[in-house]
Structure 1
Amino acid sequence: MGERVDEIAPSRFVLFIPLVLAMLSMIGPFSIDTPFPAFPHIGDEFGVGTEQLQLIVTSYLLAFAAMSIFHGPLSDSLGRRPVIVGSIAVFAVASLACTIAPTFELLLVGRVAQGLSAGGATIVSRTVIRDMFEGDQAQRLMSRVALIFGVAPAIAPIVGGGLLQLGPWQLVFAFQALLGVVLIAATLIVLPETHPVSARVPLRVGEVVRGLTEVARQPAFHRLAWAGAFGFGAQFLYIGGAAIFVVDLLGQGELDFWKLFVPMIGSMMVGSWTSGRTAGLVTGRKLVSIGFVITVVGGVLGVAFSASPLATDLPWAIVGPSLIGLGNGMAYPSIQLMMLDLAPTRRGAVMSCASFLVLIFNAVAAVALTPYAASSTLGLAIAALVITGLGSLCWAWHCAATRPVPAPVAAGH
């Protein structure tokens, strides 16, 4: 483990590996956000309202979360490429099912199938990074992938809106099916198998459970995982509630989602770029601390602007979410690497458990929190501030628990 990439993959493909990994990791958020502009059209065709349309997001997230716990352990047993390719193939078929769905209920079935399969690419691609690199190199590549990954939520609603100018809402899901086919080809051509047979664990139910238990029993994993989950959860309030925030609260149109996603995700990309550029110059621990300070500042400013007459005015309405995105971009790559290093032989299980926590929190928030918090910009801002505060507390707890113990001073000194 920790081999150099040119010892694993043909040299002519090395430059494309970060791009392919980023595309694989971004298929999850891309699938969430692309249908947003189509919500009014779907609602009109099937005669459903805003609350039912929100199920298009929630059903996908719940299915993603339920299956995410298995993708990583499967890749620990079968290898990374088979799990990635197989899951994307199912995703492409599920996207076609959404395209031809004759009822809203069957559309939701297709979204569930998309959620069950998308994690194979999104989750396992992160383990490939740590399989290939370690130390500063791993941080640079994880940050580079996060930088490209950050494009997905920004361009997804723009792509969705553009597709609606070319045809009906079904075209959005047909495009996702095509994307799946492209990613299968890219994986087979570019991506090496980074988890050798000698390092794999037996594919048995007991072994899978043992690996997940081994990860879940580590207090450090929970501190790091919940820090990351809460940090991104504050940002996801705006992503998952974008249809309400952008259209209902800010009074924008179906082609205006970029006004939220470009600044917020652009800031996250700047944070990821900063993480990569400072690898070897600033410790991951310090970078995460700075990132969480920025998210809290973003949360405070979000509340301040939302409580003022500027609450629904741009750009002030998106200052808070953008700063939260900047802090997350700086912190999240290092948090992921710290978690992966907790169990070197169970990296797939680590990413599965971490993704499961993030997704369950986001799915529950989408159902139980977003519809109520999004009744006003102030409600969203307060909820985001509380969640960023919880993430910062988890990180502070981890720092306190892992603080180096000073060496005892020898007598006479």
Structure 2
Amino acid sequence: MTESPPRRAPAPSWLVTLVLAGLSMIGPFTIDTIFPGFASMGVQFGVDSTAMQQVTTAYLIPFAVMSIFHGPISDAVGRRPVLLVGLGGFVLASIACALAPSLGWLLAARAGQGFFAGAATIVSRAIVRDLYSGAEAQRMMSQIMVIFSIAPAIAPVVGGWLLALGPWPLIFWFIAGYGVVVAAATLMALPETLPAEDRHPLRVGSVLAGLWQVARSWRFQRLSLAMGLSFASYMFYVMSAPIVVVDLLHLGEQDFWILFVPLIGGMATGSFLSGRLAGKVDTTWLVDRAMAFLLLAAAVNVTLTAAVTLWGALPLLPWSVVGPTLLGLALGVFFPVLQLALLDQFPHHRGAAASMSAFIVLMFNVLLAGVVAPLVTASLLTAALASAILSVLGVLFWVWHRRATRPAV
């Protein structure tokens, strides 16, 4: 069976970009917008901050589990049905959160949000490759990342604004409204991008077979680990933000922007550069240089934090955030390219490929937040060293992939 050519969307490309970016932003908005409301939720439900952490965990676990299945199901029934059912379930779960009379109710509703939210994030990636190819796909993915990278920075700010207008349920009503807007935009701007002849039977065996075909590919796993570990060197600072900002930088709870604005600015700049270079330079050459820059950024990060913490040669700020910003710059350049490369490994199972790559990255994030960060954040220097190790591992997997796929002479 030959691969069907990319299908054009009837809407202008800028509108398609906004809709796909809006779909990908559901995850960050669902997690980060509610952070400012944790204190008032805890007071209403009579629980401490430790118990309130379950509100995030209850969302992440079903999100991780379902991330494996959204893509393969979309390979069977089409992209739009999975997107629209997922968005509908997400909106209903968000309303249930807003109406929660107890912590138990809220946790159950948050699990519902996680169950459905991944459909938007994962299927939207497959749609990019359904609609575009080559340099055009790289430009589209880069543009989406530029917009997406803004979400973690503005989400807590939006949550704070909403709390100034009313009680914490208003945040969940806003999230539900956002889901409705994105669903309406999806209906208007996105066609069904997977032709019927390219779909697979919706049977458990067929879905699992598609996942197994992707999972057993060493080529796919090498690329996934190269992307996941490299991404983890940057996400380490995002997942460790409460420790880094409050304990290591000695800042207040309202000062997270001091870390997040440079981090996100670096990633957005790198994504913009990746889009500008699409079609002008070879993608493998681009990833090679970006990976080399990642190692340089890791070395700069370790050197600057040593200068700050050991030698006292530099002030704590801004030098402590220069290295992580450079990591984000490198990541923004190669991440869109590697995402597309993973999808291109399985042109007839793009949904399964999107699911598996998302699951791997998500598992790294869970490990970073729950295991790695508490162990290696005794100081800014140990944090920088941990991030550097992740960078080196990611680059090693990329080098392995390059050598394994090099044509025989």
TM-score by length of structure 1 reads 0.91
**Distance change in 2, residues 1:38/1:256 (3 Å):** farther
Q: Which residue identity lines up with residue 314 of structure 1 in the other structure?
A: L
- CA drift of 1:51 comes to 4.2
8 Å Cα contact 1:246/1:256 also seen in 2: yes
Q: Which residue identity lines up with residue 290 of structure 1 in the other structure?
A: R
Which position in structure 2 is the counterpart of 1:384? 387
Q: Which residue identity lines up with residue 388 of structure 1 in the other structure?
A: S
Is 1:10 the equivalent of 2:10?
Answer: yes
Which position in structure 1 is the counterpart of 2:336? 333
8 Å Cα contact 2:4/2:198 also seen in 1: no
**Distance change in 2, residues 1:101/1:380 (3 Å):** farther
8 Å Cα contact 1:36/1:243 also seen in 2: no
Q: Alignment partner for residue 371 of structure 1, among 374, 377, 383? A: 374
8 Å Cα contact 1:98/1:173 also seen in 2: yes
**Distance change in 2, residues 1:97/1:352 (3 Å):** same
8 Å Cα contact 2:86/2:120 also seen in 1: yes
Q: Which residue identity lines up with residue 88 of structure 1 in the other structure?
A: L
Deviation string, structure 1 residues 350-376 (Cα, Å, up to 9, x no partner): 000111111122112221122333444
Whole-angstrom CA distance in 2 between matches of 1:222 and 1:248? 36
Deviation string, structure 1 residues 83-115 (Cα, Å, up to 9, x no partner): 011111111122222223233343332222222
8 Å Cα contact 1:64/1:359 also seen in 2: no
Whole-angstrom CA distance in 1 between matches of 2:41 and 2:408? 59
- CA drift of 1:57 comes to 3.1
- CA drift of 1:401 comes to 0.9
Is 1:347 the equivalent of 2:350?
Answer: yes
8 Å Cα contact 2:78/2:194 also seen in 1: yes
- CA drift of 1:47 comes to 4.8
- CA drift of 1:313 comes to 3.0
- CA drift of 1:139 comes to 1.1
Deviation string, structure 1 residues 179-218 (Cα, Å, up to 9, x no partner): 1111111101111110011111000001001101111121
- RMSD of aligned alpha carbons: 2.2
Which position in structure 2 is the counterpart of 1:356? 359
**Distance change in 2, residues 1:156/1:205 (3 Å):** same
Equivalence map 1:10-409=2 (5 Å) = 10-11=10-11, 13-307=12-306, 308-309=308-309, 313-406=316-409
Q: Which residue identity lines up with residue 9 of structure 1 in the other structure?
A: A
8 Å Cα contact 1:37/1:255 also seen in 2: no
Whole-angstrom CA distance in 2 between matches of 1:312 and 1:99? 44
Deviation string, structure 1 residues 96-143 (Cα, Å, up to 9, x no partner): 222232333433322222221111000000111111111111111111
Deviation string, structure 1 residues 203-261 (Cα, Å, up to 9, x no partner): 00010011011111211100111111112222222222323333343343444322222
**Distance change in 2, residues 1:196/1:60 (3 Å):** same
8 Å Cα contact 1:136/1:279 also seen in 2: yes
Q: Which residue identity lines up with residue 377 of structure 1 in the other structure?
A: L
8 Å Cα contact 1:26/1:149 also seen in 2: yes
8 Å Cα contact 1:227/1:392 also seen in 2: yes
**Distance change in 2, residues 1:312/1:176 (3 Å):** farther
TM-score by length of structure 2 reads 0.92
Whole-angstrom CA distance in 2 between matches of 1:243 and 1:93? 31
Whole-angstrom CA distance in 2 between matches of 1:295 and 1:109? 40
Deviation string, structure 1 residues 152-200 (Cα, Å, up to 9, x no partner): 1121122222223223333222221111111111101111110011111
Give 5+ residue unaligned stretches, structure 1.
407-413
Q: Which moved more, 1:168-177 or 1:118-127?
A: 168-177
- CA drift of 1:263 comes to 1.4
Give 5+ residue unaligned stretches, structure 2.
none
Which position in structure 2 is the counterpart of 1:411? none
8 Å Cα contact 2:6/2:129 also seen in 1: no
Whole-angstrom CA distance in 1 between matches of 2:52 and 2:286? 38
Q: Which residue identity lines up with residue 9 of structure 2 in the other structure?
A: A
Q: Which residue identity lines up with residue 252 of structure 1 in the other structure?
A: L
Q: Which residue identity lines up with residue 400 of structure 1 in the other structure?
A: R
**Distance change in 2, residues 1:369/1:106 (3 Å):** farther
Whole-angstrom CA distance in 2 between matches of 1:305 and 1:48? 41
- CA drift of 1:381 comes to 2.3
- CA drift of 1:56 comes to 3.2
Whole-angstrom CA distance in 1 between matches of 2:139 and 2:68? 26
8 Å Cα contact 1:299/1:381 also seen in 2: yes
Q: Which residue identity lines up with residue 384 of structure 2 in the other structure?
A: A
Whole-angstrom CA distance in 2 between matches of 1:269 and 1:92? 29
**Distance change in 2, residues 1:312/1:96 (3 Å):** farther
**Distance change in 2, residues 1:322/1:56 (3 Å):** farther
Q: Which residue identity lines up with residue 324 of structure 2 in the other structure?
A: P
